[in-house]
Amino acid sequence: MCTEFWVASHITGLFEINDQYTNSLEIGSRGAGLSIQRGVTTSIQESESPSVKVKFNGNLQPISNAIITLKVIDLLLSKKDQMNFCINHKFDVPLSSGFGASAAGALGTAFCINKYFNLGFSDLKLFQVAHEAEILTRSGLGDVIGLYQGGLEIRTKEGAPGYGKTIGMQKNDDWKIATISFGTLSTASVITNPKRRELINTASSKLIDSLIENPEFDLFIQYIAEFSRKVQLWSPQVQSLVDNLPPGVIGGQIMLGDGLLLFYHRKEELEEVAQMSNSIQPEEICEQTLLRLN
């Protein structure tokens, strides 16, 4: 017997860290981002192993690579039930690169465990468990509630679904979206660094307030570019690409990853960017972010 769920990926464009609470469900980020059609497929099936096994794209992982998946399992199951099954994640997006792969994997795990063991938890509860696992492992702040909203979202209040709040963004133009990923950036290394935290929150607070008052996609694009230049978490490679984008193309750093979120109108514009980097991936906005496949 195999149970399988697909979860979209989520990309943050700008964010503000709010982790002053003792309750992990209240911790999170204000900010804005989008869910995309590329995602993570998670399955659970019986195994002969007396312990839990976790695989990425079919390859068995050490505990150090599977801490988020194992944290979800800990939050849902007693130790005596943690045996004789295997979780496998199939990733369509790069890991530790700002695509919310950990959040998607955490959600897929929560829904698989709930179904496989007939736990009977509500969807809201499972989203909260995934958020808590992200917070406890310092793997993310706002991706789970972003996926709960779906599409284009503004996180107006930090926290898990049911605690935080979101609104949608209006997209009235024919902007198209693409991503470029050059490598990884550790979320924990950023959100636990006092100087980077202060820089991020100072740069983002007024932008987020303005976006909440005027939830327009055009503003979102402008603010991503402005935020990226203010915080400068990017590598020289990403900065060089941003500095040399053709007219009509706007770019900002994927938060948090060594990559770029691109906005353009015409295919020719993307082809011009492709002359500078061949790793461009066109993206589609995803409204329905979670599906049961089996």
CA distance linking residue 280 with residue 284, whole number of Å: 13
Confidence at residue 153, expressed as pLDDT on a 0 to 100 scale: 98
Give the pTM: 0.96
Is the distance from CB of 290 to CB of 107 less than 8 angstroms?
A: yes
Q: Hey, is 281 helix, strand or coil?
A: strand
Name residue 89's beta-bridge partners: 42, 56
pLDDT of 131 reads 98
Neighbour count for residue 42 (Cβ, 10 Å): 27
Residue 279 has pLDDT above 90, yes or no: no
User: Where residue 199 falls among pLDDT bands split at 50, 70, 90?
Assistant: very high
Closest CA to 103 of 51, 155, 60, 180: 155
Question: Per-residue confidence at 28, pLDDT binned at 50, 70, 90?
Answer: very high
Query: Which residues have CB under 8 Å from 259's CB, separation 6+?
Result: 94, 97, 98, 179, 180, 181, 182, 183, 238, 253
Q: Label residue 185 by pLDDT band (50, 70, 90).
A: confident
The answer to whether the beta carbons of residues 7 and 289 sit under 8 Å apart is yes
Region class of 222: left (phi > 0), else alpha (psi between -120 and 50), else beta: alpha
Average pLDDT (163-182) is 94
How far apart are the C-alpha atoms of 254 and 233, rounded to whole Å?
10
Q: Which two tokens mark 222?
A: 């402008």
Decide: 82 and 51 in contact? Cβ < 8 Å: yes
Residue 171 has pLDDT above 90, yes or no: no
Note every long-range contact of 212-216, with CB atoms under 8 Å and residues 24 or more positions apart, other chains counting. Answer: 212/154, 212/156, 212/167, 215/154, 215/167, 215/168, 215/169, 215/170, 216/169, 216/170, 216/172
Contacts of 81 (CB under 8 A, 6+ apart): 117
Query: What is the pLDDT of the chain when averaged over all its residues?
Result: 95
Residue 219 confidence (pLDDT): 96
Within a 10 A sphere around the Cβ of 6, how many other Cβ atoms?
20
pLDDT band for position 274 (50/70/90)?
Answer: confident
* φ, ψ of residue 213 in degrees (nearest 5): -70, -35
Residue 277's pLDDT band, with cuts at 50, 70 and 90, is confident
User: Distance of CA 5 to CAs 26, 220, 287, Å?
Assistant: 26, 30, 16
Within 10 angstroms of residue 14's Cβ, the number of other Cβ atoms is 28
Task: Dig out the tokens for 23 from the structure.
Answer: 């309750």
pLDDT over 80 at 278, yes or no: no
Fold observed for domain 1-294: Ribosomal Protein S5; domain 2 (3.30.230)
User: Is a pLDDT exceeding 90 seen at residue 173?
Assistant: no
Cβ-contact 108, 5 below 8 angstroms: yes
Of the pLDDT bands very low, low, confident and very high (cuts 50, 70, 90), residue 276 is confident
pLDDT tens by residue, 114-141:
999 999 999 999 999 999 999 999 999 9
What length is written for the chain?
Answer: 294
